[in-house]
A and B are shown apart, each in its own frame.
Chain A
Amino acid sequence: MKRFIASLLVAFSLAAPAFAQEGGPAWDKFPTERLTDQAALQHGAKLFVNYCLNCHQAAYMRYNRLHDIGLTDDQIKSNLLFAGDKVGDLMKTSLAPQDAKAFFGTVPPDLSVITRSRSGPNGSGADYLYTYLRSFYRDETRPTGWNNRVFPNVGMPHVLWELQGTQRAVFEDEKGEGEQVEHVFKGLKLETPGTLSTADYNADVADLVAYLQWMSEPAQNDRVKLGVEVLIFLAIFWVISWRLNAAYWKDVR
């Protein structure tokens, strides 16, 4: 028995570093405390509807689910509904798929569960998006004029460029093995500032990602709350069943 547990521990300690090995640039940590901050989620929803929903859709998400982050029907209607949809409608886009394909080379993915699909070896899906939306840089070789550090040759242009400004990738030539000269990435440099400071832009992106994370599973905050109650109930029930068992088994010799 002890040996069995010991072997389980060995196996898990083998499994843990498995995720650390795979490549790609590191992802920044998304500030998770924003997930429970209603103001941040509401601001994120506004950014989402204004900047993302034109090309992407969130076809599994209904506008009126925004009640869960403290918005009323009237607020949704006057601030977030542009195409005259009803509050009970799904978040669809008016961009036709064939047009999208012509504009961007691919149909922009549905964003309903995007954060859940992007978790990987470098972090959570929210970490990925938080890094991705801050890693666009100018690249004249691309059709849109933009490229991205964590999603090389991405089809999407930098939609938030007015807020962030434009970044440029800094490469330096370094001597590699033998005669080879390596083109090494040294970081992104803000070239022309946008309407927001870097700190404010990061905060905006964090709000947007918080919203995306919330939207990927609108029940998640309720789930955790209910989970606490269920576990408290089960803990009490455990004590009862433990004593019940002891009461019966005291006869067994």
Chain B
Amino acid sequence: MSEFKVAPANASAGVKLLTWVDNRFPASKLWKEHLSEYYAPKNFNFWYFFGSLALLVLVIQIVTGIFLVMHYKPDAAQAFASVEYIMRDVPWGWLVRYMHSTGASAFFVVVYLHMFRGFLYGSYRKPRELVWIFGCAIFLCLMGEAFMGYLLPWGQMSYWGAQVIVNLFSAIPVVGPELSLMIRGDYVVSDATLNRFFSFHVIAIPLILLGLVVAHVIALHEVGSNNPDGIEIKDKKDARGVPLDGIPFHPYYSVHDLLGVVTFLILFSAVVFFAPEMGGYFLESNNFIPADSLKTPPHIAPVWYFTPFYSMLRATTDDMLKVFDVLVIVAAGLALLKGRFSGLAKAVIVVATLVVLTGFGLFKFTGIGALSGCDAKFWGVLVMGGSVVILFFMPWLDQSPVKSIRYRPDWHKAVYAVFVVVFLILGYLGIEPPDPLKTAISQVGTVLYFAFFLLMPWWSQMGTFKPVPDRVVFHAH
């Protein structure tokens, strides 16, 4: 506990009040630690806008969400009509609703760019592993939040999208059917599902999300921000203990981020006011038809931000499992031949490989029930889940001697470019109805996506690295 301070007798009322508060709550301390004396590297570039923008979008979503809940009815018989009521009869309701629907997509745009910044400059590397892990947890929450929120307008795409995704859980062996029943609260998506998704969307997940955002920022401010050079600015400090390349977050980055915020708001408003449907990508045309449990739409596609992962789910067919068989055998073979493992570890590898191969159905031909394996849908769910969960392991997958892409071999940039293109192509294919060619492309994409991560411990060390400077590269504005 800090010393009890007394304001000078002639101090202004404001100072006296602040002293009174500071003796009871660390107001000035928090302000200093997180803003006025939080030293951030001075060489932040364009990519560093997206963290504060994500926070801005979170606030937009919460505030607009509060006003939407005042008028929305989580009732299968009234939900669709209540959304149209908001659009027509509630004063400014259309604006609030469009801000919320556009905000959902904007959230993912901003978060994807924020995450990619981490990729580029190794922001997940030691000592920022927990910053990254909290961030990945935020991303997972965001996906849950978006998925459940999308059911609420109760249109055809809401309904059938939820139906398809909840059905995926039934592919899990043994507990699957019970689990999907528990999620829906009914045998089909219904009023019960709408009510629980509403509850999760407005209370449960936002609570977790806010807690994680706080943890993300506290962890970041504990270790300090990374920068485009991937240099620890805390290694070079002046006599006062202030990093030489650091500047106070406030006012330098608060005014800097203000510029980012206004730029973002220009783009955001352009969508809200001139293209709220964004050509069917933000608001799908099918979702203007009320949910009908008896009419399945000919083509069900998730909203754009889920499509890369959905593509990988669809890519996992029976044929794909055969590819997995080969890949697992090659990986296990290399581990046994090249890896320096003890005899026991080798035995574990062999057993694990056999178990996985059995799961893929490699021994189905024997006709023995226990060896029939799981169907491709289950592996698809696992692949889809794995494609997100693998992000958590980035701090340990990346073994490169430098953090930033700037000092990596040039061909590493090409690897990242291929990864981005693969991710975008997977995203595009996830919107499209499947056909054999597109499935084949998405299968190649899935293998490349996972190869990027799973082979990272090897490729990230290869090549000639450039010398990392002592101080950050900065050109005065």
Contacts and interface: CB of A to CB of B under 8 A. Distances in A.
Nearest to A227: B273
A89 B277 CA distance: 28
Contact of A119 (B81, B259, B280, B421): B280
A125 B52 CA distance: 38
Interface residues of A, number: 51
Contacts of B413: 3
A102 interface: no
B472 to A, nearest CB: 12
Contacts of A110: 290
B331 interface: no
B89 interface: yes
Given A117-B285, A120-B285, A227 B274 contact: yes
A151 interface: no
B423 to A, nearest CB: 9
Contact of B87 (A7, A219, A241): A219
A181 interface: no
Q: Which of B251, B413, B424 has the most CB of A within 10 A?
A: B424
Contacts of A250: 476-477
B421 A223 contact: no
Nearest to B251: A248
Interface string A201-241: 00000000000000011110001101110110011011001
A218 to B, nearest CB: 6
B335 interface: no
B88 A218 contact: yes
A246 B255 CA distance: 9
B286 interface: yes
B341 interface: no
B477 A246 contact: yes
Determine chain A's interface SS by DSSP, over half rule: helix
Contacts of A114: 288
Contact of B266 (A216, A218, A235): A235
B84 interface: yes
A84 B261 CA distance: 52
A82 interface: no
Contacts of B256: 245, 248-249
A234 B269 contact: yes
B252 interface: yes
B243 to A, nearest CB: 13
B255 A62 contact: no
A175 interface: no
Interface in B77-92: 81, 84-85, 87-89
B312 interface: no
Contacts of B261: 241
B390 to A, nearest CB: 21
A227 to B, nearest CB: 3
Contacts of A1: 46
Interface string A62-84: 10010000000000000000000
Nearest to A124: B285
Q: Which of B87, B272, B432 has the most CB of A within 10 A?
A: B87
A7 B424 contact: yes
A242 B269 CA distance: 19
Nearest to A114: B288
Contacts of A228: 273
Interface stretch (A8-16, A28-36, A158-166): A8-16
B254 to A, nearest CB: 9
B421 A7 contact: yes
A200 B280 CA distance: 32
A60 B94 contact: no
Interface of A: 1, 3-4, 7-8, 10-11, 14-15, 18, 59-62, 65, 109-110, 112-114, 116-120, 125, 216-219, 223-224, 226-228, 230-231, 234-235, 237-238, 241-242, 244-246, 248-250, 252-253
